[in-house]
Chains A and B, each alone.
Chain A
Amino acid sequence: MKVLVIGSGLGGLLSAAWLSREGHEVDVFERLPIIGGRFTNIEYKGFQLSTGALHMIPHGPTGPLGTLLKDLEADVKIVRSRPMTTIRIPTEKDAMDYTHGFQDIEFHDFRKHFSLLNRIKLAILITTTRTFPPKSGSMAHWCSKNLNQDWALKLADSFCGWALSLKAENVPATEVFEIIENMYRYSGPGIPVGGCQAVTEALINIISSHGNKIHTSTEVTQILVENNKAVGLVADGNEYRADLVISDIGHLETSRLYDTNALDTSAASYFTAIRKLRPSAGVKICLASNEPLIEHTGVLLTPYAQRINGIDEVTNVDPSLAPAGKHLIMAHQCVQWENIGRLEEEIDLGLRDLSEIFAGKEYEVLLIQSYSGEWPVNRSSSGSDLSNRTPIEGLYVVGDGAKGKGGIEVDGIALGVRTAINDILNSN
């Protein structure tokens, strides 16, 4: 089979590597000069920053991505974060920020900080909601209804902000419980040695070792459709023919590459659905320091900060991500849709948070990177992903606009790719 892939992001590369191993002929087209989309390294001042991700894989070596990479025999080492997460809380009871001191507690100790009554309630809720997940309503709604304690909502916001770049009020409670369920199933996060690029490079190697090609600086401008079936594409003015087209650029962007008017009315609900998808927005602040700012390889959640949701220090896993003796720290903040127009103010609040979180420490702000719209944190916010199929036969969408259910970020992408490729292999 001849397959063409639009976009060399993680979804595109995973699909291309898998089909290459199955013996199919694959060409990948990438508009940019670099491969990997929002999941590869960019070097800046000697630090291995990234085009998007915080160098972290949500469920580490045993999650959906880790498992898929193993199945593809990709040569990547993913180090499990230990502890998974700590939470920074103010030392003074009733304090609402970190200005008068703070302490870090381990994630599984968070229950201690609820009142005794809420602790009992939470224990019951956690066990029962794992078996009977709430059917409707947002995570914020769930917190205020069931726990009615400020700390519950702060923690939920910080967790949803870090993991999904969304406020708890914009995430269905069912989705959060699915994620919690998956934390039990697949375990917590991990960091690839070498950063995001290690994953990208390993996949490129698989693709090229099978004689297949990734065409960089080559933009796809049209998907060729005949009798409602994808038969090829146009890239840089050249026509390529194939049995199958896989797009890694999201449903909406993909639909702009073919004539949607030619489709019959049964496709209308698909187009309504893809127009409703809301990409999540966020800001990543990259810091350099001479001393460690976080003492472990996991995530530091900061529920009492105004904007920053969580922080990781990737050099604790791989010191080569920074120049010798330096540390690389990455902080993430969710940007609510209505604040995208006021990004500079949002960033200033994030910077102020960092000066409180790391009070008394010396660090340098390396680069401030923001993401929204068509270059977002996640193309479809969690809980709203569409399937990999499109109204066009032989045209599939992968990537973070078509993640698998309950899978977050790159693990969600891996779940989606697994579904798509199994679908393709079974129907061809």
Chain B
Amino acid sequence: MKIDERCVGCGQCTAFCPKNAIIVKGIARITTDCIQCKICMAYCPMKAIEESA
């Protein structure tokens, strides 16, 4: 998964990630624990999460 510059750092994705794979501090960062389940995408109010190519 990829997070783009639209991210405001609201942490909504962190709370819904089943793997606790998103660290947020001003901006969100996805860790290697990510299993590409895509759940976080739907919860982002800024549409800042994309699938990585």
Q: How far is the CA of A154 from the CA of B25 in the complex (A)?
A: 26
Which residues of A in the span 128-163 have a Cβ within 8 Å of any Cβ on B? none
Q: How far is the CA of A374 from the CA of B26 in the complex (A)?
A: 15
The tally of residues in A whose CB lies under 8 Å from a CB in B reads 24
Given A44-B14, A368-B24, A369-B10, the answer on whether A374 and B43 have CB atoms closer than 8 Å is: no
Nearest chain A CB to B33 CB, angstrom units:
16
Asked if B46 and A42 make an inter-chain contact with CB atoms under 8 angstroms apart, the answer reads no
Q: How far is the CA of A367 from the CA of B16 in the complex (A)?
A: 13
Interface SS of chain B: helix, strand, loop or mixed? loop
Nearest chain A CB to B3 CB, angstrom units:
14
Asked if B10 and A371 make an inter-chain contact with CB atoms under 8 angstroms apart, the answer reads yes
Q: Which of A347, A369, A372, A374 has the most CB of B within 10 A?
A: A369
Partner of B24, one of A31, A43, A52, A367: A367
**Residues on B with beta carbons closer than 8 Å to the beta carbon of A32:** 42-43, 45
Nearest chain B CB to A51 CB, angstrom units:
6
Asked if B12 and A42 make an inter-chain contact with CB atoms under 8 angstroms apart, the answer reads yes
Interface string of B2-22 (1 = CB under 8 A from A): 000000111110111000000
Asked if B11 and A373 make an inter-chain contact with CB atoms under 8 angstroms apart, the answer reads no
A360 within 8 Å of B (CB atoms): no
Cβ-closest chain A residue relative to B9: A370
B27 within 8 Å of A (CB atoms): yes
A290 within 8 Å of B (CB atoms): no
Asked if A371 and B12 make an inter-chain contact with CB atoms under 8 angstroms apart, the answer reads no
Partner of B15, one of A217, A367, A368, A372: A367
Q: How far is the CA of A34 from the CA of B12 in the complex (A)?
A: 11
Partner of B43, one of A33, A367, A372: A33
Q: How far is the CA of A114 from the CA of B25 in the complex (A)?
A: 38
20 sampled A-B residue pairs with Cβ under 8 A: A31-B45, A32-B42, A32-B45, A33-B42, A33-B43, A34-B43, A42-B12, A42-B15, A44-B15, A51-B12, A343-B9, A344-B27, A346-B26, A347-B26, A368-B25, A368-B26, A369-B10, A369-B11, A370-B9, A374-B8
Q: A217-B42, A375-B8, A375-B46 are in contact. List 4 more A-B contacts (CB 8 A).
A: A49-B15, A343-B25, A344-B27, A370-B9
Interface residues of A (CB under 8 A from B): 31-34, 42-44, 49, 51-52, 217, 343-344, 346-347, 367-375
